[in-house]
Every structure is written in structure tokens, then in C-alpha cells.
Structure 1
């Protein structure tokens, strides 16, 4: 075990009894043996406790039940319970690949690296692989200028050094969504990020996901970016700030236009995007598609 630092894995869950056992098992089956799994049950009303009772005899497993307070508080409770020098996360409906830690942990050899993340695969409700292209370019090193424009880090793939949490805090409990982007932005100011191109995490695409709430997602993205820029006004160049705002408004416009088949609201968002970055090619292309009703 001396060559394997303890890794704490936090799984926050709410009414995920149908998927949670597979998530827990995927972490416990790691080739890296020095780990602990902390399941924080955020007031589930289904069979969650019963579904994972078979893990109670495993010394690496801990089950913590709380009143329903939302995922940020549940994740922070898991962090408070954790003991590892490094910390990982797995959503209750997702899976870790068995060699995830073996592949990612060596990248922490450099003490300036605070976050190591990897590529992600996709599965459906039945656990079958889905062929889906990589949505974003991934970056390593000092990533703030890239990260402020797009959250390119698949949350469940990320491992963090505990010192990040000690120095730069935990999840913002005032945010119902986007808490990972907020965390990565803060960590990126003082730490380097490392990307491993191997697929180490399986993200489940299904009808009950919070990620389908695109309006909430963009509303919180605006809050997060506003908060970050107010707290760290000199962290990034003005041109990058303009591009970041343009990206949020353009992407929200395209999402609303596509999902709701409306014109006025997406048009206003696109105008905001162009105002922030009038050379933004994506914004002009989106405007043309909207006007021609091709979104």
C-alpha cells in the first residue's frame, strides 16, 4: 500500500437505487486497492439503502445518510468524511473503468498538479456503449484561459489532490448546478491540470438526468462566471472574458432555438454574444441559421 496513496471516492446519491450498486462496485473493483468509497445518501425515498447493503461488510465502504439538502451539500459531506490524500468522484448512475486509478494517479508525480482528468465513454440506460464523438478539446497545464470559455473536464473522470480542497475550498453550496465548473475555475488559478486520453469513466445518458435542464444549466453558468470575474478581476485577459461571455450566450441561444423552436429569445442572446465578441464566427453562423430557420 505504500506505493498506493489512499484515494477517497465520493458518491452523492438521491433516489438512484437502480444504478447505485453498479457504481459502487465499479469503484471497489479498481486495480488500485488502497481506496475508500463514501456514499452520501441525500435523503433518498427509494430502495437505496437496501440496494447497497451487500457492501456493508467491505471495510473500504461507508454509507452516510442525510436529510435531503441538494447535491453540493451532499458532495461536501462526502469530502468532510474523506481521509485520502487524493479524492475522486463517481455519479450514482455512472461507472468507473477498473484501471482508472492505475492510469491517472501516476500523473500526480509533479507536486504542482492538482487535478488529473481523462476521457469519457458513454452508456445508455441498460449499460450498453454509445458511440459519441468527443465534444470538446481537452487541455493540460495552466488551463484557466481555456476553462473560463468551456468546461471541458468530464466531472467523474477528475481526481484532485486534497491540498486543492484545503487551499481553494470545496463546492459552493449556493449553486444547484455547475458546481464542478466553479470548483475547477478556482483550482485552475493555483494548480496545473493533467489530461489522460484514456477512457476511464462511463457516463450514462438517460431520461432522468439533471443535465437535461439546459435553462438551469446556463442560468447557473452566468452566475458562476459573474462570481469568478468579480472575485478574480485580473485572472484572465479582457479578450478571453469577452469570448467567454459570447460563448455562453451563443450556446444558450442555439440550445433554446433547437429545443423550443422559438426566435425572439435566441435572437436576443445572439445579439448579446455578438456585442461581447463581434468577431465570433460561431455567433454569426448561429445568427444566419436562426434567421433562415435552420436551427
Structure 2
């Protein structure tokens, strides 16, 4: 795909599911419209917003590449799936309504799809605050390319908004799971990883906005759904990873939840129990012993 002109570029559909993000949405849409990759459309699903979203988006909706669809409020998975249903492109990308794309995002990532085995191409991310000022934040996870199931079952290392996917992934492995209120991206990547290769582009192509009140701060809800997702995936794909790696995945889940609760609530008993459960799942996992030591030393 390298060196393509606008006349032979495949169409990329960019799905933006939004709820009460009128303040940020125009900036997100404009960042997509400024792409150096010209053959794109933007499918905006307004999930029953009660703010001024419709007014804010009206000037941009005159662009023939922008399709604004207002629905009743059903939640993020349903809104994203409506966007997938409406999308016309051979490839599909995502942008949250409060985030931004860099201008060369698609140009940099689409070339990786020259390999027909590649189903998902993702990239690096940077961070801004609610006013748009840069935030220095270390990237928490190692990134991986190729067949990634054995890495992905331990950590979701794919920043959701950076991903571009083949439509064929949806046709073969399904859309978002509408029974999950959170963690829908990890569930999607796990399913896709069984049949498709992933590619990582090290360039920063996505700018993630951190602001008070985001769903991502709901750590208890996030882990409740993560347990469901892991159980669902391992049950549906019993041969996807070796048994010892499945035990490592469960161990990491318990340990990570325990340490998150300890950090957020300054508690001991519940995190201690979670970390111990993790060690029982995989006693060779050094992260468990290190976490246990941290908890005990803090307690002492």
C-alpha cells in the first residue's frame, strides 16, 4: 500500500461513538479529517446525548465524509456496533470523542496491511489533560507483533483508539460483545488474535485525553469485567494457550486487582487475599511475590 494515491487507497471507516462529548467532539472529528490518507469516512454514533452534541457537530456534518447518526442511549458496545454496521470501509478504525489523531496515522499504519495475515495494526499513544496540555506518562506495557495471543492473555497491550482493523476480522470473529459494559476492546483483541496477526507501529498516532470522571477510573468494574472476559475466552478457546500460561494469566489477574485496590483504597486484607490467590495459581510468577512483599512492608 506504500506509495498509493488517493484514487486507489482502500476506504477506511472511522467509528466515533459519543455520549455527551459535544465540547470535545469537533476537535476529534477535525483531527481525523486532517489525515494525509484521503479515502476515509467518519461514522459518528451519538448514543442519546443530552448535551449540545448535535449543535456542535452540525457544521462538520456538511462534509460528505462525515455521517452523523443519533440513536437512543444503549451504551458504548451497542453504539460501537452500530458504527461497525454503518461503516462502508474495507478497514475500520476508532477514535473516542474526547481524543485526537495525529495527521499521518492512517498513512503510517495502513502499509502494514500489505500482509494479508495481518488483521489489526496498532500504534503508540501520548496523553493530554482536559485542557489539551501534554502529560508525561510512562507506557505501562510492552508492545508485541505477530501471533500475540500468549502475550495478550496476560495484558491488554493494545491501546484501543490506535487500532485499525480489517473488516474481515469482524466478519470472521464477530463485533463487540454487547453484554460487557467495560473491557470490550480486550475481548475483541483476544478473539481476533486466534486467527489474525497483529502489527505494532512505534509512532505516536493517537492522543488520549485524561480528565476527571472517566469510566477508565472505575477499577473495580474494570476488573470484574476482565475476569469475565478471561473466563469467556479460555472456555471458548481451550487450546489457545498452554495450561501453564492460562494459570499465569489468572495469577496476573488476581495480583493486578489486589494491587490496584491497595493503591486506590489503602487497604490490606482484600488485596492480600487477591495476591495470595494469584500466587496459588502460579507460584513461579515473580510478580506475585514482589507484590506480596510490597503489601507486607507497607502494612508493617
Q: Shorter chain as normaliser: what TM range? A: over 0.9
In the alignment, the residues of structure 2 paired with residue 141 and residue 56 of structure 1 have an alpha-carbon distance, to the nearest angstrom, of 38
In the alignment, the residues of structure 2 paired with residue 2 and residue 112 of structure 1 have an alpha-carbon distance, to the nearest angstrom, of 24
- The residue number in structure 1 matching 2:279 is 274
- The residue number in structure 1 matching 2:58 is 53
| Structure 2 segments unaligned to the other structure (5+ residues) | 1-5
In the alignment, the residues of structure 1 paired with residue 213 and residue 267 of structure 2 have an alpha-carbon distance, to the nearest angstrom, of 25
- C-alpha distance after superposition, 1:186-212 (max 9, x if no partner): 000000000000000000111121000
How far residue 271 of structure 1 moved from its aligned partner, in angstroms, is: 1.0
In the alignment, the residues of structure 1 paired with residue 204 and residue 154 of structure 2 have an alpha-carbon distance, to the nearest angstrom, of 23
Counterpart check, 1:3 vs 2:8:
yes
TM-score for both structures, normalised by structure 1: 0.98
- C-alpha distance after superposition, 1:122-152 (max 9, x if no partner): 1111111111112110000000000000000
In the alignment, the residues of structure 2 paired with residue 41 and residue 57 of structure 1 have an alpha-carbon distance, to the nearest angstrom, of 16
Counterpart secondary structure, 1:118: strand
Counterpart check, 1:111 vs 2:111:
no
In the alignment, the residues of structure 2 paired with residue 250 and residue 193 of structure 1 have an alpha-carbon distance, to the nearest angstrom, of 27
| Structure 1 segments unaligned to the other structure (5+ residues) | none
| Structure 1 residue ranges, 4+ long, deviating more than 3 angstroms after superposition | none
In the alignment, the residues of structure 2 paired with residue 235 and residue 294 of structure 1 have an alpha-carbon distance, to the nearest angstrom, of 39
Q: Identify which of 200, 203, 208 aligns with 2:208.
A: 203
In the alignment, the residues of structure 2 paired with residue 294 and residue 110 of structure 1 have an alpha-carbon distance, to the nearest angstrom, of 52
Indicate conservation of the 8 Å contact 2:101/2:206, yes or no.
Answer: yes
Q: How does 1:57-72 map to 2 (within 5 A)?
A: 57-72=62-77
- C-alpha distance after superposition, 1:48-84 (max 9, x if no partner): 1111111121000000111110000000000000000
Counterpart check, 1:158 vs 2:163:
yes
- C-alpha distance after superposition, 1:77-117 (max 9, x if no partner): 00000000000000011000010000000000000000000
In the alignment, the residues of structure 1 paired with residue 245 and residue 196 of structure 2 have an alpha-carbon distance, to the nearest angstrom, of 19
Counterpart secondary structure, 1:56: helix
How far residue 3 of structure 1 moved from its aligned partner, in angstroms, is: 2.8
How far residue 241 of structure 1 moved from its aligned partner, in angstroms, is: 0.5
TM-score for both structures, normalised by structure 2: 0.97
- The residue number in structure 1 matching 2:243 is 238
Indicate conservation of the 8 Å contact 2:268/2:299, yes or no.
Answer: no
